[in-house]
Structure 1
């Protein structure tokens, strides 16, 4: 079993508490197979720039602080670790009602976001100020997944009612409903411009759809149980995706050279040739695979219910590039960024892992509430949390 990773935890509202007179924030170091070290950061004064001057206790020191970032170091008998903490630029707490979890979301570079809460409110809002622009009404039950098509004006959703719906973000009208799953739909993937899409769910299948005719082109059935997550990517030419037994339908567009990646409840990561329908690999994982995504045309990453993160090279999945267990709880979302990724967990953590598979920064703000989704518009990262708040962070600070 992969060893737990060492980590540092900082009080979630540090950017406010440390700017108070005689401010204080708690900080903790958790090493590998050793007791945790608990300390404090104390404000000794405020600089001309309005930044707190800090001292630490119990081996903690502060190397740098700005309006939204703090870099702290622990150095002691149990280990040494430096970590950067990033506070949200803005927290949107009024998009969803109080006491309603923000369970999924998506944003575009054009300034729109879409998200759903535990009260089944599916909302389109402005990323600049959080103003709600549209309410999408039509699903019967929980909505588990929502995303924009590449155009930025069409939205795809799916949920417990076993339906996929396609909406206009401009009019809030449902343009099409796709029916074919026999249990709740948990995630979707849009292929290129969106003439075809993929969905997966609790019925143990993944389906490739023709959006124009609202029909199923093929069903991936032998997945071994609930399919929690799916992702599609163009693969490197060195990866053999197999050949289809029959010529594809003319309604199937841009599936050639692509792999379908599935994360399954039966603790497996599975890869299929999207056009060939052939299973390319199946990798046993430590527990239910909650989320999967591609990092490049040869690399992918998955996160499990027991907190394991596995980075693999598709050319040799049997030997992971790196695998570790986070002490933070279940991995709930993964977001590729540059050659690394953001990961969010069930204990309120959201952190960035760089191309060397080293944790570089922690996004703060959520106080032990699960962070269900992490998305990006090219300049900012947004998180959806059980406390109902959507938080926005600048990528410049990470």
Structure 2
């Protein structure tokens, strides 16, 4: 499948009426089946078109043909610009539209927290501590942001000010998730521990210890009496929050590091064992029935585990290390999305896994995070661009494409991305130390 993509100068918003560079290119992913069961499939990315333009940043009355493309700004507002690219000098073969969105706000959350809480935080002026993760509460009252050297803060996304620091981790905070109540948060760190926090008081209610490697990702089961974690030690743990004990543990055959996780509520029992009733749950295990856990491994495998039965439900093979994943049953179709270290975004229909639905590649940089909001799939990449993909989930024959690009970072990896459940606002956590907020604008023709 061949798709057309664009790259716009990251600081285009500051260019005013001047021109900015625009790259237009095509990328096609070809999957090569393995010749034996011992070998993994491989992927080849082919590029057909790579054109460079100086784009006038104001909407043009009429377009002018340039080499093999027609490019122009069709609409522009304060924080976004809509760009049109037509293939062929006549502009009649194929027309692609995309919105490039600048951040509504960019906040140095740890510097702000240090200013507000001088007794809790050291003041770090240069360089800014790197950010690794962000999550937003169900009512969007709070955000939790994790970063380098154990830094973690509760952030007010409305007033864009720190609420309070969460002090306890001693190494990078790599993952954060709110419990359904929106008042409690779970964090994981490279210090091998998970911590449960009251975001209203900033107090740590529990510390979960048991991993032998840095925590890579965490997940909440149901209302949160159990949580899940995965780590570089190759283990996945199911925890009881009440007594901080491990309820169940999984490891891959080769103990490959587990980078990411996502939970599917399989109430229809398409994959989980329907015969397993609540009586089969062990002590300190709650709401695990019909829960299917997907985990992405450094080896490129994706494991699907029935949490209640502890059994392996499926094993999918990727072409490179899987660093992000998300699962959804939108439109009644159980769909798994995975992001790999080599930039591949892959979608699977879990009812038929002999081959993926789509394999796409916007760039060779790692797909660091995947988030699903309504019919849109958001990805955060290591080249500093976050993207909104259309036609990946809805039942349609349309070719999946990037309809919106979030700009701002100057090629610094975007490591965390979260979407506000109420408003659809997008928050990104970047290596440059800034938390960026976007109010997405989507294509209008």
* Both proteins in one fold, TM over 0.5: yes
CA contact (8 A) 1:366 1:385 kept: yes
Structure 1 position 361 matched with structure 2 position 404:
yes
Moved more, 94-103 or 138-147: 94-103
Please, which runs of 5 or more residues in structure 1 have no aligned partner?
45-50
1:215-234 alignment runs, 5 A limit: 215-222=245-252, 224=254, 225-234=256-265
Shift of 1:235: 1.7
Q: Does the C-alpha gap of structure 1 residues 384 and 24 become closer, same or farther in structure 2, counting only changes over 3 Å? A: same
Shift of 1:355: 3.4
- Distance in 2 (CA, whole Å) between partners of 1:124 and 1:53 is 47
- Distance in 1 (CA, whole Å) between partners of 2:357 and 2:436 is 31
Shift of 1:83: 1.5
1:154-303 alignment runs, 5 A limit: 154-222=184-252, 224=254, 225-235=256-266, 237=268, 239-242=270-273, 247-296=280-329, 298-303=334-339
CA contact (8 A) 1:244 1:277 kept: no
Cα RMSD (Å): 2.4
Shift of 1:81: 2.8
After TM superposition, the score normalised by the length of structure 2 is 0.81
Shift of 1:75: 2.3
Query: Corresponding residue for 1:305?
Result: 341
CA contact (8 A) 2:109 2:435 kept: no
Moved more, 140-149 or 34-43: 34-43
Query: Corresponding residue for 2:100?
Result: 85
Q: Does the C-alpha gap of structure 1 residues 201 and 287 become closer, same or farther in structure 2, counting only changes over 3 Å? A: same
- Distance in 2 (CA, whole Å) between partners of 1:185 and 1:266 is 17
Moved more, 379-388 or 58-67: 58-67
- Distance in 1 (CA, whole Å) between partners of 2:406 and 2:62 is 20
Please, which runs of 5 or more residues in structure 2 have no aligned partner?
28-46, 112-123, 393-399
Q: Does the C-alpha gap of structure 1 residues 116 and 57 become closer, same or farther in structure 2, counting only changes over 3 Å? A: farther
Q: Does the C-alpha gap of structure 1 residues 114 and 187 become closer, same or farther in structure 2, counting only changes over 3 Å? A: same
- Distance in 1 (CA, whole Å) between partners of 2:2 and 2:365 is 11
Shift of 1:148: 1.5
Moved more, 342-351 or 67-76: 67-76
CA contact (8 A) 1:223 1:264 kept: no
Structure 1 position 120 matched with structure 2 position 135:
no
Which runs of 4 or more aligned residues in structure 1 lie more than 6 Å from their structure 2 counterparts after TM superposition? 51-57
- Distance in 2 (CA, whole Å) between partners of 1:12 and 1:4 is 25
Query: Corresponding residue for 1:48?
Result: none
Query: Corresponding residue for 2:53?
Result: 39
Q: Does the C-alpha gap of structure 1 residues 93 and 217 become closer, same or farther in structure 2, counting only changes over 3 Å? A: same
- Distance in 2 (CA, whole Å) between partners of 1:138 and 1:106 is 18
Among 5, 8, 11, the residue aligned to 1:10: 8
- Distance in 2 (CA, whole Å) between partners of 1:223 and 1:362 is 39
Query: Corresponding residue for 2:366?
Result: 330
Query: Corresponding residue for 1:73?
Result: 84
Moved more, 146-155 or 233-242: 233-242
Q: Does the C-alpha gap of structure 1 residues 7 and 396 become closer, same or farther in structure 2, counting only changes over 3 Å? A: closer
Which deviations, in whole Å up to 9, do the C-alpha atoms of 1:252-307 show, x marking residues without a partner? 11111110010000101110111111111111101000011112261110010011
Query: Corresponding residue for 2:21?
Result: 26
Q: Does the C-alpha gap of structure 1 residues 55 and 12 become closer, same or farther in structure 2, counting only changes over 3 Å? A: farther
- Distance in 2 (CA, whole Å) between partners of 1:389 and 1:360 is 24
Shift of 1:145: 1.0
- Distance in 1 (CA, whole Å) between partners of 2:64 and 2:431 is 31
- Distance in 2 (CA, whole Å) between partners of 1:209 and 1:174 is 16
CA contact (8 A) 1:259 1:274 kept: yes
Q: Does the C-alpha gap of structure 1 residues 308 and 292 become closer, same or farther in structure 2, counting only changes over 3 Å? A: same
Q: Does the C-alpha gap of structure 1 residues 223 and 142 become closer, same or farther in structure 2, counting only changes over 3 Å? A: farther
Query: Corresponding residue for 2:37?
Result: none
SS across alignment from 1:316: coil
How many equivalent residue pairs? Answer: 387
- Distance in 2 (CA, whole Å) between partners of 1:331 and 1:91 is 22
